[in-house]
Chain A
Amino acid sequence: MSGLHAQTAPFVRDTMLPPEPPPAMQSGVVKWLRENLFSGWLNTILTVLGFVIIALLVQKFLPWFLHSVWDAGSISECRAIIEERWGPGAEGACWAVIRERWPQFLYGFYPAELYWRPVLAFGLLLIAIGPILFTQSQRAATSFITLVAALTFVSILALGQHNVLALVFVAALVAVQVFAPRRLMIFTLLYPAVGFWLLWGGSVWIPVVAVLGFVLGWLAFRLIQPAGGSILGAIAAVLVPVFWWLFAARLAAGALQGVVPLGIEAVRSDRFGGFVLALTIGVTGIGFSLPMGIVLALGRRSDMLLVKTLCVGFIEFIRGVPLITLLFTASLLLNYFLPPGTNFDIILRVIIMVTLFSAAYIAEVIRGGLAALPRGQYEAADALGLDYWKAQRLIIMPQALKISIPGIVSSFIGLFKDTTLVIFVGLLDPLKGITDAVRASIEWKGAYWEPYLFVGAIFWIICFSMSRYSMYLERLLKREHR
């Protein structure tokens, strides 16, 4: 048998041949080009069109960028330098306007010797929300906070306003994050008061007394709940702080300031402008509109007819009118709606309106998330015997919020972009207010594109990172289809 086999199969290959390289058309750059750019006549046309568009854009804008001037005292000086360097008729970017006026774009008319305060407030904000942004990963939170702290250090030192106390405080926060991460949440809760105090300045006792209201509310709840039950406790927890803020807080702050005068230089609201203003309005609006949106969404899905009607009316009204009309209401009509003689800060009014506006949109997004939850989740919560708030807190909201993350973040982005509209009620937003103010000076009259590019780029970076963060969060929280 074997002999026969040996005759019919004289040669059997027992080693592999080295693999041949694939044909040139089927590999590497050529293949990629064929598949991605020239896979058919339509695609070829599109590719050529795309290249033509890019070439036109580059031809139009590249010289302008290449002819940039960074060092000049005025726009005419800029133009003279460009003409001298690149020949008559040459056009170029005059970044000198940014180089000279960048503090205005960032800080508005905030006193120059106090620039460290907004910087510190912004750094502390990032440190405060660090643990929330990276709840899933301790290490990510720590490195984020350390990075922010380092940047804050560098910025404050670069400003030349050595405030040792501020630097020590930032360092202490980093230490807290490293050694007792959970304690940092206390600072997160306190941040609104800290941020307010740093930005507006004044007596330290005002934010302290305001925070004291929350402490009093908590104390009232703890005292009354054992005797009167949780509902009376909750009512007391709401009423006590409200009474404190309305009637006692001002007196207490005044008295404390009289006994221990402690404070930093106060900055009036009309000094605010630029990105300090945009971020103040944006961040406060974002912070308050989310809880308010949740409450509105729950109200809209409530069984109680009256609550539901009120919420629907509010949401649909706000969503039906442009933000500008609401801002005009804040600036022009508030003295009709409030008791005669009351007058409060325009920034605060704008923040309230922006918050209400954004809350209505967020409520709709969250309602979508609530509607997307299967009914079984609600029934399971009922079957476990959870009451309404426990069911919402433990079962419904975590899932509904997870579904609504993209929508919520795009509402936040919209809110932040909408902060530019405050120019129309006389606040100096970075986009039009400050740009116009800069152009109003003789030196920089006619500088159109550079300020727009600069401000637009900052907005783009902030909004783009927010949308990327929401995508990161979505991936992180994805439980199904692993």
Chain B
Amino acid sequence: MTVVTDAPKDAFRPSMLIYDTRYRSMTIQIVVLLLFMAGAAWLVDNIVKNLQTLGKDFSFAFLWYRAGYDINQTLIPYTNDSTHGRAMFVGLVNTILVSVMGCVSATIIGVFVGILRLSRNWLVGRIMTVYVETFRNVPLLLWILVALAVFTEITPAPNQFRVTEQMIAEGTEPEATMSFFDSIAITNRGTYVPAPEVSRSLGSFTILDVPISLNVLAFLVAVAIAVFGYRAIKAHASRVQEATGVRPVTWWKSLLMLLVPPVGLLVAMGFHLSYPELAGFNFKGGINVSNALMSLWLALTLYTAAFIAEIVRAGIMAISKGQTEAAFALGLRPGRTMNLIILPQALRVIIPPLISQYLNLMKNSSLAIAVSYMDLRGTLGGITLNQTGRELECILLMMLIYLALSLLISSAMNVYNNAVKLKER
């Protein structure tokens, strides 16, 4: 006769809460929850008490008060009569501006440097290694300060660009000249770049006091149409190739499709550049990009590009040489090998760390404090905080905004990552 032994059905004992793995995790979680709640209650209690002692309340009403300070570089209309809320918004736009500019330029430079570092050219490889190691191993703050010193100490003053009658008569050159075919003036009072202008404007409309130019919108729509058409042509070519085995020649069609809508629109609107010109003691016309923005942008670009270069290099090195050889064996040309075989695989390795570099760049842009560029930290976490004395609200709000930005960037990039990543079964 077989004896069936069941697991012993003991009565529940308190010690099982600790020693029985079935209950232990429950016990731990309850203890953690209690500790967490006690900690949170302690913090909130302290905050309430401290606010009482200081005679302050917790309110965001100050966001609707008059700010009373000027911001020298704004993308949206702002005067010192505007509210603190609007100043915060201006700061946020400035943060986004420098982050986007930095991400674009850092990616371009980083990809170039990363590829050149793998070059078989000994000299170029060494130069790129020196660049990467120099920029990676020194604090970003140093590069920002150096860039600021370069822009404020070394660049010429606007009046050094002056060409007087006497100089023409003597045939001497002015002390400083504009770069890029007389279009950009780098001075110690900021960099003047040509401003895009249209002669037949479509006008603009405002949402929430923010004017939105119809010209820009129309241009974006034209670009979207161009990209859409380009992809349609590609898809059509692929369908024909699937059906007949011959890929139709599409390069001129794609080129036309990409160029005609935006360029046509620009011509129709009468697009032209307004160049900066020396008038009196300073330049007039064009856009004045402040030295703060220029130095922050330059430093963020060069610093982040060094990291992106390493990521790109690692990504390309992760693809085994066999892949290239197999592509060549299939008879693919080097260009197509890169496009069809290497890049899709390398991108999978490159994109996740690239996302975190973009996030780092956005967070590092808060070092604008070193050059007094009015970003989110400069407005909300700087002057607004000092004027209103509401440290708690300002810093919490600033953290929340940065957090939201981070989450936004990372989710947007994750969508892209999911599009290119390996589709497994």
Residues of chain A at the chain B interface (Cβ within 8 Å): 35-37, 39, 43, 46-47, 49-51, 53-54, 229, 231, 303-307, 310, 317, 319-325, 328-329, 332-333, 335-340, 413, 417-418, 420-421, 423-424, 431-432, 435, 448-449, 452, 455-456, 459-460, 463-464, 467
Contact = CB atoms under 8 A, between A and B. Distances in A.
A319 B364 CA distance: 12
A46 B402 contact: no
A335 B138 CA distance: 33
26 contacts: A36-B121, A39-B120, A46-B119, A49-B124, A50-B123, A53-B127, A231-B18, A306-B29, A307-B29, A321-B399, A323-B363, A324-B377, A325-B398, A328-B381, A328-B395, A332-B391, A333-B392, A335-B50, A336-B46, A339-B46, A340-B50, A340-B53, A435-B145, A452-B146, A459-B137, A460-B134
Contacts of B278: none
A76 to B, nearest CB: 16
B395 A333 contact: yes
B395 A329 contact: yes
B343 interface: no
B309 to A, nearest CB: 14
B25 A304 contact: yes
Interface of B: 18-19, 25, 28-29, 32-33, 36, 43, 46-47, 49-51, 53, 116, 119-124, 127, 133-134, 136-142, 145-146, 149, 153, 359, 363-364, 366-367, 369-370, 377, 381, 385, 391-392, 395, 398-399, 402-403, 406-407
B121 A460 contact: no
Contacts of A431: 139, 141-142, 145
Nearest to B360: A414
Output the residue of A50, A229, A319, A336 with the most chain B CB within 10 A. Answer: A336
A424 B144 CA distance: 14
Given A417-B140, A421-B141, A460-B137, A322 B402 contact: yes
A455 B32 contact: no
Contacts of A303: 25
Contact of B46 (A46, A304, A338): A338
A405 to B, nearest CB: 15
Contacts of A37: 121-123
A421 B363 CA distance: 13
B53 A455 contact: no
Contacts of B43: 337
A467 B127 CA distance: 19
A338 B42 CA distance: 9
Output the residue of A39, A303, A322, A455 with the most chain B CB within 10 A. Answer: A322
A325 B396 CA distance: 9
Contacts of B51: 336
A346 to B, nearest CB: 15
A47 B121 contact: yes
The 4 closest A-B pairs by CB, nearest first: A36-B122, A463-B137, A320-B406, A322-B366
Contacts of B364: 322
A250 to B, nearest CB: 21
A50 B29 contact: no
A467 B137 contact: yes
B391 A336 contact: yes
Contacts of B123: 36-37, 46-47, 50-51
Contacts of B398: 325
B56 to A, nearest CB: 9
A325 B392 CA distance: 12
Given A459-B137, A459-B138, A459-B139, A319 B121 contact: no
Nearest to A465: B137
A340 B49 contact: yes
A325 B137 contact: no
A37 B122 CA distance: 6
Given A304-B29, A333-B392, A431-B142, A321 B403 contact: yes
Nearest to B303: A417
Contacts of A424: 369-370
Contact of B133 (A329, A338, A420, A464): A464
Nearest to A33: B122
A418 B138 CA distance: 10
A463 B134 CA distance: 10
Contacts of B137: 413, 459-460, 463-464, 467
B141 A336 contact: no
Output the residue of A35, A46, A303 with the most chain B CB within 10 A. Answer: A46
B406 A319 contact: yes
Given A36-B120, A332-B395, A337-B46, A307 B28 contact: yes
A327 B344 CA distance: 41
Contacts of A335: 50
A46 B121 CA distance: 8
A237 to B, nearest CB: 15
B119 to A, nearest CB: 7
A37 B381 CA distance: 52
A229 B25 CA distance: 18
Output the residue of A47, A229, A324, A335 with the most chain B CB within 10 A. Answer: A324
Contacts of B403: 317, 320-321
Given A304-B29, A431-B145, 16 more contacts: A39-B121, A304-B25, A304-B28, A306-B29, A307-B32, A319-B406, A321-B406, A325-B381, A333-B392, A337-B47, A339-B46, A417-B140, A418-B139, A424-B370, A459-B138, A467-B137
B127 A50 contact: yes
A152 B359 CA distance: 41
Nearest to B143: A456
Contacts of A435: 145
Contacts of A421: 141, 367
B138 A417 contact: yes
Given A310-B36, A340-B53, A420 B142 contact: yes
A456 B142 contact: yes
B77 to A, nearest CB: 27
A332 B382 CA distance: 12
B355 to A, nearest CB: 12
A321 B47 contact: no
B141 A324 contact: no
Contact of A47 (B124, B134, B367, B369): B124
Nearest to A424: B369
Contacts of A467: 137
A467 B407 CA distance: 30
Contacts of B36: 310
Output the residue of A49, A229, A231, A421 with the most chain B CB within 10 A. Answer: A421
A384 to B, nearest CB: 16
B137 to A, nearest CB: 4
Contacts of A307: 28-29, 32
Given A303-B25, A304-B28, A418-B139, A324 B367 contact: yes
Contacts of A459: 137-139, 142
Contacts of A449: 149
A338 B29 CA distance: 26
A321 B391 contact: no
